[in-house]
Structure 1
């Protein structure tokens, strides 16, 4: 097994175990962000899936398992999936560190899951791409298609929040600091997505091709 396959396998195992741990905690009524009174199980599961953090980690898991099998994986759809996982998990780490980390007061297994989802997995995913690629695998069209997912997530999240009163992140809740603050947060996060997306595409083109870049 090549070093690239070994690294991707480790990433796949870590992120899968992390998602399993978070699922167990939710099933047991564990806290998600600052919730102190967990709702019924079906609602908890629906809210778990609604978190952008969880969706990003799931994409990383799917990609890592595929790369563990074939480090030179390629294909038009796969390129979008790969870049989406990188953009999503990078944003997850940045937004958590800047906006959410000061709000959290977790301990025990909840704290462990939080650190794995928001710190360890992002570092593994980005490091794996920098070290082993596969590169090159991006284009302008790929980058444009990647943005469909976060924009759709944001629209759906705001619509569901308006209907139910629940938002996965406090900076999307107009009751916290007003609708103006939510608009600014959405614009800022959208701009961050575009910047990270463009930066990864630029790096993909400028960094040396990886040894396993050819299918």
Structure 2
């Protein structure tokens, strides 16, 4: 009688990340939709507001990365690139750190709202970091990749600022140009960019360190 094969940690973390990522997004979508319609928003207004959040966009990309592992379709090839996967380690870590140190003190969440918040801001970042450490080939990132890893967040910032001029709403208090003014928002953005740059640098360095350790085993 043969022994049972051990669970493949890569597959386990892939399916866990995909399940909780999708579940958290669906739950948050449903909760946000109820609140939006109760406050008189229409569908375009709700969707524009929902997908303006960095947390939502980051978790959507994580789900697509997991799907790229499960589905071999060329349409998901972008999400198999090491730079994209490494970039998202830094991005989702920024999400978790920003929520923990800044946003969690602003609102007292309960029930399903607390559950959705915990899944998207803490559980999904943890699962993705573990998945990246297990699934990603080592030694695939270079220091020249750092600007490309920062570019999507710069595009996001420009979009949010342009959208804010139009609708006079901003997804995060540190980006609220109506209340803070543009000089303070730009200063906040510089701080966030520096933090993200440091996280990206840590990811690149960790990738190289793990590659060297793997070669010595």
**5+ residue gaps in structure 2?**
1-6
- TM (normalized to structure 2)? 0.83
Q: Call closer, same or farther: CA 1:117–1:77 in 2, change over 3 Å.
A: closer
Query: Which runs of structure 2 are paired with 1:128-167 in the superposition (5 Å)?
Result: 128-167=131-170
Inter-partner Cα distance in structure 1 for 2:89 and 2:113: 24
Matches within 5 A, 1:17-36: 17-29=23-35
Give the secondary structure class of the aligned counterpart of 1:29: helix
Q: Which whole-Å CA distance do the structure 1 matches of 2:203 and 2:40 have between them?
A: 38
Q: Please, what is the CA RMSD of the aligned residues?
A: 2.7
How many residues get paired?
A: 205
Partners of 2:58 and 2:35 lie apart in 1 by: 22
Question: For 1:39, which of 38, 41, 63 is the aligned residue?
Answer: 41
Q: Using a 3 Å threshold, how does the CA distance of structure 1 residues 38 and 8 change in structure 2: closer, same or farther?
A: farther
- Choose 1 or 2 for highest CA Rg: 2
Deviation, 1:107, is 1.7
Q: Distance in 2 between matches of 1:30 and 1:109?
A: 16
Please tell me whether residue 105 in structure 1 is matched to residue 108 in structure 2. Answer: yes
Q: Secondary structure at the match of 2:86?
A: helix
Q: Alignment partner for residue 10 of structure 1, among 7, 12, 16?
A: 16
Query: Residue in 1 aligned with 2:121?
Result: 118
Structure 1 alignment gaps of length 5 or more: none
Match of 1:54 in 2: 56
Q: How far is the alpha carbon of 1:145 from its aligned partner?
A: 1.2
TM-score norm. by structure 1 comes to 0.84
Higher helix content, 1 or 2:
2
Q: What's the secondary structure of 1:135's corresponding residue?
A: coil
Residue aligned with 1:28, SS: helix
- The offset of 1:196, in angstroms, is 0.6
